[in-house]
Amino acid sequence: MKLSIIIPVFNEVKTISTLANAVNAVAINMEKELIFVDDCSTDGSRDALAALQKEHPGWKFAFHQVNRGKGAALRSGFKEATGDIILIQDADLEYDPRDYPALLAPILDGHADVVFGSRFIGNGPHRVLFFWHFVGNKFLTTLSNMITNLNLSDMEVGYKAFKKEVLESISLREERFGIEVELTAKIARKKWKIYEVPVSYYGRDYSEGKKITWKDGFRALWCILKYRFV
């Protein structure tokens, strides 16, 4: 079996090389396909990725010529993926690649079609950060659950893994962070089997490069309502 790891990148020059090495170092009994999608970074990330491309000719790289958003980067990555399982890995080191075995186990054991990580269950380390982000996440997850009839604890989590046929069964449109809502809604509608596992979370504050803002929260809210009907 093969695991395709989609890594969207936007202005992560401080972390991308460390993250790439951490992903490459994870020991799993599967072939790994690393796919980096740079979303028109302006901080030197493209140069760092070009250096990785020379060092690792077997890895895949795509470069957007204009900034389009995480959703667009993921869709570009999904098109390149040839693995039996596809996993999303943010480039900012907030999520630990050593959690891969836990994320993959429900799929490999034949129980799940999709696995969501969760920052709110389990005993892994979690950095203490913003109260209102926590409240907003819980509100959006609860509203999403009401619409999809799921009982997720962390709809907006950055760690999600899918059987390839799951992504082949849905058409994705969202350009930016609304992709998390769209994925959840369309997977729920298709009745794919979803599991949730605890993951560690090493969150950042805005001085360290965190990008999601209140505008993304409002877009997620709109997408929850939108994909109730679309």
Residue 122 has pLDDT above 90, yes or no: no
Instruction: Identify the pLDDT of residue 225.
Output: 81
pLDDT digits (tens, 9 = 90+) for 163-180: 999 999 999 999 988 899
Residue 32 has pLDDT above 60, yes or no: yes
Low-confidence winner among 56-65, 104-113, 138-147 (lowest mean pLDDT): 138-147
Instruction: Identify the pLDDT of residue 36.
Output: 98
Residue 228 has pLDDT above 90, yes or no: no
pTM score: 0.89
Where do the structural domains in the chain lie, given as residue ranges?
A: 2-226
Residue 21 has pLDDT above 80, yes or no: yes
Burial letters for 105-126: b for 16+ Cβ neighbours within 10 Å, e otherwise?
A: ebbbeeebbbbbbbbbeeebee
The CATH fold of domain 2-226: Spore Coat Polysaccharide Biosynthesis Protein SpsA; Chain A (3.90.550)
Instruction: Identify the pLDDT of residue 207.
Output: 55
